[in-house]
Amino acid sequence: MKRALIWLALLGLVGCAKFPDNGTGTSTRIFVTVTVNGQLQPNLVYIVAMNFTSENPPTTTGPIPVVAPPWGNGFVAGNATHFVRWDPNAFAPVGYQISKFQDVALNNWIPIGFPVITEPVPTNGKTLRFAVDLSQLGFTSIEQANLKFCQLNILTMDRTPTGTDPGNKVWDGLGDSTTIGGINEWINVPLTFSQIYNNVQGVNNRGLEGANDLVGPYNPDLDIVSWQVEVQRP
């Protein structure tokens, strides 16, 4: 059964952004921070999948990890309109790229730019920080004005198998990835007011995303241990 986690802990008013500004974007911004237990590695896969919707509240499945064949795109299932991937080698010099899905099956996507705000990851760094602006995501002005929620999931993995690939993959996502129910957890973030949400409360009071819940041979570089999402209205 899917478990969409709606209206996360209210943690205070939004403050000023601390990240370097790439100089584009004019509307509501979504700041994302992700921390892993080990160190971020360019040869591994780090993706933030987003589904922007005008539903209020959302009734559809948000982004969820792909965990077994048939693999589809190899990284996300459910519903998603965009994703941001960190890969400092492929997306130099910014290190991040925004892509937009072109079909509901999530098999086709196109790059549409880089986040409006990014923070470089230092050597041995463990935290990703970036922000996307609604004005840079390819919505019409009417579509953008009607957006009410961003359904969001954080996905890490060692590879992105496709088709009927018989192998496995090591992966993590929001929720307890070692349980069936935990696979289908994402966050529904309201876009209509400024607020900060993070990994303070969740299952069994240990936080929505706890350590050591990786699926597959343990790799601390893929183990998500903390996250924060901030909505900043203009």
CA–CA distance, 119 with 4 (Å, rounded to integer): 29
Cβ contacts of residue 120 below 8 Å, gap of 6+?
A: 20, 95
pTM (predicted TM-score): 0.88
User: In tens digits, what is the pLDDT along the chain, a chain of 234 residues?
Assistant: 344 443 333 333 333 344 545 445 569 999 999 999 999 999 999 999 999 999 999 999 999 999 999 999 999 999 999 999 999 999 999 999 999 999 999 999 999 999 999 999 999 999 999 999 999 999 999 999 999 999 999 999 999 999 899 999 999 999 888 887 777 889 999 999 999 988 875 434 445 787 888 999 999 999 999 999 999 998
Listing DSSP states for 99-137 in one string gives: EEE-STTS--EEEEE--SEEEPPPTT--EEEEEEEGGGS
CB 140 within 8 A of CB 176: no
Closest among 92, 90, 85 to 130, alpha carbons compared: 85
CA–CA distance, 214 with 17 (Å, rounded to integer): 31
Amino acid at 192: T
Q: Which two tokens stand for residue 68?
A: 């077994």
Q: Which two tokens stand for residue 157?
A: 């993995």
- Which pLDDT belongs to residue 13? 30
